[in-house]
Amino acid sequence: MLTKRIIPCLDIKNGRTVKGINFVDLRDAGDPVELAQRYAKEGADELVFLDISATEEERKTLADLVKRVAEKVNIPFTVGGGISSVEDVSKLLHNGADKISINSSAVKNPELINDLVAKFGSQCIVVAIDAKRVNKTWKVHLVGGKVPTDIDLFEWAKEVEERGAGEILFTSMDHDGTKNGFANEALAQLSETLNIPIIASGGAGNMEHFADTFSLGKADAALAASVFHFKEIEILDLKNFLMERNIPMRV
């Protein structure tokens, strides 16, 4: 059985790690390179860095940050935020990123997924999808959750897979930062629909939530931020907890 993955997420704004609730009310969580080093030592399987403001200026900052992180950590890491071209991806991978994540740019130009897969391979192309429930259906949102669309989560996820993406990072905006658990029903439906790995994001508050998203949500990986940043959950303790529940982990 494939091991499940634990992935700390570092949201980056102006070169600092930040964390909010429902995509707003941001507070500082520390230096991203120092946090990355800490997580690598503590047993994280991968890391995700998301430039949540992603202006042109900060994308350059992100490329420099990628280089600094690559020099300090020995686990795979994914980088996202403001990526909209083959050139953007080439620079980030050249600076040491293992995978890149695209979100709004993929919705606006779905052919970008095909182009990136053709150039770099499925294994390093992650498509992030931010969605929330609107009138009992899950709708995709863009630009850090600020722009609603009429696109159905499950239809878009299927198209993303068909275009060759290697992985989907699904964030429930309704659950983000609430610490009330992941969106396991939606995750389970995604898992039944797709054949590529799904990373669950949004809602981690305790160890049981991770167990639930692997067992009930059928997620392949679980991503969280504040519970790790502020040491509410230690990664090794979490992995031991999950293994006791027969959830396979890499330690």
- What residues are labeled active site? 11, 130
- Report how far residue 66's alpha carbon sits from residue 78's, in angstroms, rounded to the nearest whole number: 9
Is 249 within 8 Å of 231 (Cβ atoms)?
no
SS3 56: helix
In angstroms, rounded to a whole number, what is the distance separating the alpha carbons of residues 226 and 203?
10
Q: The tokens 């699904």 sit on which residue?
A: 170
Tokens 């991978």 map to which residue?
Answer: 93
- Buried residues in 54-74 as b, exposed as e (16+ CB within 10 A): beeebbebbbebbeebeeebe
Identity at 203, one-letter amino acid code:
G
